[in-house]
Amino acid sequence: MENLDEIVSQLKEWYSRTPKHFEGAILGSMTTWPHPIGVYAYQLFIHVNGNDPVVFPIVQELEKELLATVGSLYGSRYGLFTSGGTESNILALFVAKRVSRGKSDVVVAPSTVHASIDKACLLMGSRLVKIPVNPLSPVDPDILEKYVRDYNPFAVVVTAGTTESGVVDRVKEASEVALKHDVYLHVDAAFGGLLIPFLHKHGIIDSDLSFYPGVSSISVDLHKNGRAPIPSSLLFFRDETYVGKACFEMNYLPSGMNCGLLGTRPGASLVASWAVVKAIGLEGYEKQALLQQDTALYLFKELDSREFVEVFKPVLPIVVWKSKLYDYVEMVKKLFEEGIFLYKSPSLQAARAVIMPHVTKAHVDALLKALDKIHAR
Ligand code: PLP
């Protein structure tokens, strides 16, 4: 029998050595420190299987409410709770394939699409045709239409907030293409879903995110800008029939079926997401989005005033820059040695900071100080 005290002291020791978002060093990841009410709810419902609504009816009730609240931003309340952006994207393409009989086995997407789309296509034995695009620009709708005409895909994917530069593909124009060619359009808004509606409302960005008539699904991660514990995401569909296509027969379960890619689903993160969304509210997310954008612009302006960097103006709170002294991989490594954790933007050969809800101007100042230090050598 293990000694629990020993295990606890070991865990505490590891915890003390594990970076925490609020300390300010985590500046590249799209994760954030979860809202405390989410942590509380998670612990309380840790035992709940989110895929058993007969034994645990609360999961179905709260999923419905969660979808209605967040979905009011885009104009749909149909969908399901998933374990993250990757599951949402795989599931969206799976549903697209199920509903689009008679089309080729191709998916068309701009080259800025997240790697989970490559993963989904690999898993389904589908071919992903990428449209080469400038990572700093949305896909040109005319070029998108040409690819749709040439390849007759069963699905098109665009991104509302690309991973490497935060660019927002034009959902309205992509929707027109999808409608005209009768093709399933999935919008990956894993990062941008809780930013774009608010930044658009305030005139900060042109593009909006909505179920325009040609949009079939939209994914939005709650464990990113939603401040819910990992793993939490929502996949919205334009109507209820699509939801059924994301479910499978599973006769041994009381409900006789199972929705999503997982079998047993973490019910705790669903309940926690409900609690966090209730606590923050859409007005809270709006304030947070404006604050994140303001901090991103602060970082952009500071970087822009330094001669030794080339920085790209952020669309969403993702700031990307290159050093005139170091290769980007070396710069990221040197900053890592200074205790600053950034990610890379390989398509732009640049470093990337993501201004998540936990990031303050003081954290940005610490990053700038480290950057100045490595360039002063
Ligand atoms: N889609 C986009 C645009 C992303 O940026 C990411 C992750 O960064 C994902 C999907 C995958 O999300 P997850 O890591 O939650 O699976």
- At a CB cut-off of 8 Å and minimum separation 6, what does 74 contact? 193, 197, 209, 210, 211, 218, 220, 236
CA pair distance 3, 18, nearest whole angstrom? 23
Give the mutation target among 29, 111, 114 for probing the ligand 1 site: most ligand atoms within 8 A of CB. 114
Q: How many CB atoms lie within 10 A of CB 354?
A: 27
CA dihedral 299, 304, 310, 315 (to 10 degrees): 50
Instruction: Give the torsion sign (CA, 75, 80, 82, 87).
Output: negative
Give the mutation target among 31, 82, 116, 354 for probing the ligand 1 site: most ligand atoms within 8 A of CB. 116
Residue having the nearest C-alpha atom to atom 13 of ligand 1: 85
Measured from the CA of 162, which atom of ligand 1 is nearest?
A: 3
Mean predicted lDDT score pLDDT of the chain: 97
* C-alpha gyration radius of the chain: 21
Distances from the Cα of 352 to the Cα of 34, 194, 253, angstroms: 22, 20, 45
pLDDT of residue 168: 98
CA pair distance 194, 286, nearest whole angstrom? 8
Measured from the CA of 159, which atom of ligand 1 is nearest?
A: 3
Beta strand 233-237 with 217-221 is antiparallel
pLDDT tens digit string along 202-251?
999 999 999 999 999 999 999 999 999 999 999 999 999 999 999 999 99
pLDDT tens digit string along 143-197?
999 999 999 999 999 999 999 999 999 999 999 999 999 999 999 999 999 999 9
Phi, psi dihedrals of residue 27, rounded to the nearest 5°: -125, 5
pLDDT of residue 71: 98
Q: What is the largest CA-CA distance in the chain?
A: 67
288 lines ligand 1 (CB under 6 A): no
Measured from the CA of 89, which atom of ligand 1 is nearest?
A: 10
191 lines ligand 1 (CB under 6 A): yes
Give the confidence band of 102 by pLDDT, cuts at 50, 70, 90.
confident
Does position 1 have pLDDT exceeding 70, yes or no?
Answer: no
Residue having the nearest C-alpha atom to atom 10 of ligand 1: 85
pLDDT tens digit string along 354-373?
999 999 999 999 999 999 99
| Nearest to 367, CA basis, from 353, 377, 357, 348 | 353
Measured from the CA of 86, which atom of ligand 1 is nearest?
A: 16
CA dihedral 88, 21, 328, 315 (to 10 degrees): 60
3-state class (DSSP) for residue 6: helix
Q: What's the gap in Å between 226 CA and the centre of ligand 1?
A: 13
| Nearest to 60, CA basis, from 250, 243, 224 | 243
Instruction: Give the torsion sign (CA, 164, 165, 168, 169).
Output: negative
Tell me the CB-side half-sphere exposure of residue 124, using CA atoms within 13 A: 25
Token pair belonging to 108: 């068309």
53 lines ligand 1 (CB under 6 A): no
Does position 15 have pLDDT exceeding 80, yes or no?
Answer: yes
Tell me the CB-side half-sphere exposure of residue 239, using CA atoms within 13 A: 5
Q: What's the gap in Å between 9 CA and the centre of ligand 1?
A: 34
Residue having the nearest C-alpha atom to atom 11 of ligand 1: 85
Phi, psi dihedrals of residue 174, rounded to the nearest 5°: -65, -35
3-state class (DSSP) for residue 360: coil
CA pair distance 200, 171, nearest whole angstrom? 13
Q: What's the gap in Å between 88 CA and the centre of ligand 1?
A: 9
Does position 377 have pLDDT exceeding 90, yes or no?
Answer: no
CA pair distance 45, 61, nearest whole angstrom? 14
For residue 188, list its beta bridge partners. Answer: 159, 219
163 lines ligand 1 (CB under 6 A): yes
CA pair distance 108, 169, nearest whole angstrom? 14
Q: What's the gap in Å between 279 CA and the centre of ligand 1?
A: 24
Token pair belonging to 86: 């990757």
pLDDT of residue 80: 97
Can you spell out the DSSP letters for 189-249? -TTTTTTHHHHHHTTS-S------TT--EEEEETTTTT-PPSS-EEEEESSHHHHHHTEEE
Residue having the nearest C-alpha atom to atom 12 of ligand 1: 85
| Nearest to 351, CA basis, from 338, 360, 361, 362 | 338
Does position 118 have pLDDT exceeding 80, yes or no?
Answer: yes
Give the mutation target among 93, 118, 191 for probing the ligand 1 site: most ligand atoms within 8 A of CB. 191
Residue having the nearest C-alpha atom to atom 14 of ligand 1: 85
CB 189 within 8 A of CB 214: no
39 lines ligand 1 (CB under 6 A): no
Kindly report which listed range (95-104, 224-233, 264-273) carries the lowest average pLDDT score: 95-104
